[in-house]
Amino acid sequence: MGLRPHRPHLAGVLLALAACRGAGHRQAGPSAIVATDDAGRRVALAAPARRVVSLSPAVTELLFALGAGDRVVGRTHWCDYPPQVSAIPDVGDGLNPNVEAVSARKPDLVVLYRSPMDATAAEQFDRMGVASALVSQDRIEDLARAARLLGALTGRAAAGDSIADALGALLSAPPPFPTSRVAFVVWDNPPMVIGAGSYLDQLATLAGARNVFHDLAAPSATVSLEVIAQRDPDAIVVLSDSGALPSWAHRPEWRTVRAVREGRIISLAGSLFARPSPRAALATAELRRRLEGAR
Amino acid sequence: MLTLADVRYRYPGAARDALHGVSLDARPGELHAILGPNGSGKTTLLRVALGLLRPDAGRARIAGRPAHLWPRRELAKIVGVVPQREETAFPQRVRESVLLGRYPHLSLWRGEGAADRAAVTSALERSDAADLADRWIATLSGGEYQRVRLARALAQEPSVLVLDEPTASLDLRHEMDLFELVRDLVDRENLSAILITHHVNLAARFADRVLLLAAGRPAGAGTPAEVLSRDAAERVFEWPVEIQQFDARPQMVPLRKRKDRP
Amino acid sequence: MKALALGGLAALVLALAVILGPTHVAWADLSTSPVVRDLRVPRALLAFLVGGALAVSGASLQALVRNPLADPFLLGLSGGAGLGAVLAIAGHLSGPWALPLAAFAGALAATALVYRLGLVADAELDPRVLLLAGVAVGAFAGAVMTAIVSLSDAVELRNAFLWLWGGLSGASWLTVLVIAVYLPLPLIVLYASARSLDLLALGEEPARHLGAEVTPVKRRVYLAASALTGAAVAVSGVIGFVGLIVPHLMRFGWGHRHRALLPASFVGGGILLVAADILARVAVAPRELPVGIVTALVGVPLFALLLRRWTT
C 31-90 → B contacts, CB under 8 A = 66-68
B220: how many CB neighbours lie within 10 A of its CB?
21
Examine residue B134 and state whether it is found in any structural domain, yes or no: no
Helix axis angle for C98-120 and C77-90, nearest 10°, is 130
pLDDT score recorded for residue A3: 42
Question: Under an 8 A CB cutoff, do A190 and C169 touch?
Answer: yes
Name which of A28-42, A119-133, B38-52 the model is least confident about.
A28-42
pLDDT of B111 strictly over 80: yes
- Calculate what percentage of chain A has a pLDDT beyond 70: 89
Greater confidence (A165 vs A13) lies with A165
Question: Under an 8 A CB cutoff, do C163 and A190 touch?
Answer: yes
pLDDT score recorded for residue B157: 94
Number of residues assigned to chain C: 312
pLDDT of A10 strictly over 70: no
Domain boundary among A149, A170, A191: A170
Instruction: Tell me, yes or no, if A225 comes closer than 8 A to chain C by beta carbon.
Output: yes
Are A262 and A184 within one domain?
yes
Query: How many domains is chain B partitioned into structurally?
Result: 1
Are A154 and A226 within one domain?
no
pLDDT single digits (tens) B185-205: 999 999 999 999 989 999 999
**Cα–Cα distance, B76 to B62 (Å, whole number):** 12
Question: Under an 8 A CB cutoff, do C199 and B103 touch?
Answer: yes
CATH number of residue A259's parent domain: 3.40.50.1980
Paired sense of beta strands A220-222 and A235-239, if any: unpaired
Q: First CA to last CA across chain C, in angstroms? A: 28
Interface contacts B/C by beta carbons within 8 Å = 68
pLDDT score recorded for residue C88: 85
pLDDT of A23 strictly over 60: no
Average pLDDT over residues C89-116: 86
Question: Under an 8 A CB cutoff, do C39 and A229 touch?
Answer: yes
pLDDT score recorded for residue B79: 95
CA A172 to chain centre: 20
Examine residue B136 and state whether it is found in any structural domain, yes or no: no
Where b means 16+ CB within 10 Å and e means fewer, A22-36 reads eeeeeeeeeeebebe
Domain that holds residue B194: 2-86+158-254
Which of A212, A215, A224 to mutate to probe the C interface, most C CBs <10 Å? A224
Q: What are phi and psi of B79, to 5 degrees?
A: -120, 120
pLDDT score recorded for residue B245: 93
Examine residue B39 and state whether it is found in any structural domain, yes or no: yes
Examine residue B180 and state whether it is found in any structural domain, yes or no: yes
- Residue C305's pLDDT band, with cuts at 50, 70 and 90, is confident
pLDDT score recorded for residue A221: 92
Examine residue B262 and state whether it is found in any structural domain, yes or no: no
3-state SS, residue C247: helix
Q: Which chains touch B (3 or more CB pairs under 8 A)?
A: C
**Cα–Cα distance, B169 to B86 (Å, whole number):** 14
Average pLDDT over residues B3-32: 93
pLDDT score recorded for residue A1: 40
pLDDT score recorded for residue B180: 92
Residue at A158: amino acid letter: A
pLDDT of C298 strictly over 90: no
Domain that holds residue A75: 29-170
Instruction: Tell me, yes or no, if A241 comes closer than 8 A to chain C by beta carbon.
Output: no
- Residue A129's pLDDT band, with cuts at 50, 70 and 90, is confident
- Residue C153's pLDDT band, with cuts at 50, 70 and 90, is low
Contact C146, C170 (CB under 8 A): no
- Calculate what percentage of chain C has a pLDDT beyond 90: 56
Class of domain C2-17+34-311 (CATH, top level)? mainly alpha
Among the partner-chain residues C40, C153, C163, the one whose CB lies closest to the CB of A226 is: C40
DSSP 8-state code for residue C36: I
Average pLDDT over residues C101-128: 88
**Cα–Cα distance, A251 to A261 (Å, whole number):** 10
pLDDT score recorded for residue C69: 84
String of DSSP letters for A220-234: EEEB-HHHHHHH--S
Chain A residues whose beta carbon lies within 8 Å of the beta carbon of residue C171: 253
Question: Under an 8 A CB cutoff, do C167 and A190 touch?
Answer: yes
pLDDT of A84 strictly over 60: yes
Closest Cα in chain A, distance from residue C218 (Å): 35
Closest Cα in chain C, distance from residue A155 (Å): 34
- Calculate what percentage of chain A has a pLDDT beyond 90: 39
Q: Which chains touch C (3 or more CB pairs under 8 A)?
A: A, B
pLDDT score recorded for residue C154: 63
Examine residue A226 and state whether it is found in any structural domain, yes or no: yes
Question: Under an 8 A CB cutoff, do C68 and B104 touch?
Answer: no
pLDDT single digits (tens) A254-277: 999 999 999 999 999 887 888 888
The residues pairing with A34 across neighbouring beta strands, listed in sequence order, are A44
Instruction: Give me chain C's average pLDDT, please.
Output: 89
B138: how many CB neighbours lie within 10 A of its CB?
9
Domain boundary among A141, A170, A199: A170
Examine residue B183 and state whether it is found in any structural domain, yes or no: yes
- Residue A293's pLDDT band, with cuts at 50, 70 and 90, is confident
pLDDT score recorded for residue C155: 67
Question: Under an 8 A CB cutoff, do B86 and C256 touch?
Answer: no
Contact A49, A109 (CB under 8 A): yes
Greater confidence (C156 vs A186) lies with A186
Among the partner-chain residues C195, C210, C255, the one whose CB lies closest to the CB of B108 is: C195
Greater confidence (B91 vs C171) lies with C171
CATH number of residue B221's parent domain: 3.40.50.300
The residues pairing with A72 across neighbouring beta strands, listed in sequence order, are A52
Give A230-234's long-range contacts (Cβ < 8 A, gap of 24+). Answer: A230/C23, A230/C35, A231/A181, A231/A183, A232/A181, A232/A257, A232/A258, A232/A259, A233/A181, A233/A182, A233/A183, A233/A257, A233/A259, A234/A180, A234/A181, A234/A182, A234/A259, A234/A264, A234/A294, A234/A295
3-state SS, residue B136: strand
pLDDT score recorded for residue C145: 87
Helices (H), chain C: 2-19, 34, 41-64, 77-90, 98-120, 127-151, 156-164, 173-182, 184-192, 194-200, 204-209, 214-236, 242-254, 258-282, 291-311
Question: Under an 8 A CB cutoff, do C211 and B90 touch?
Answer: no
Closest Cα in chain A, distance from residue C18 (Å): 12
Q: Interface pTM (ipTM) of the complex? A: 0.90
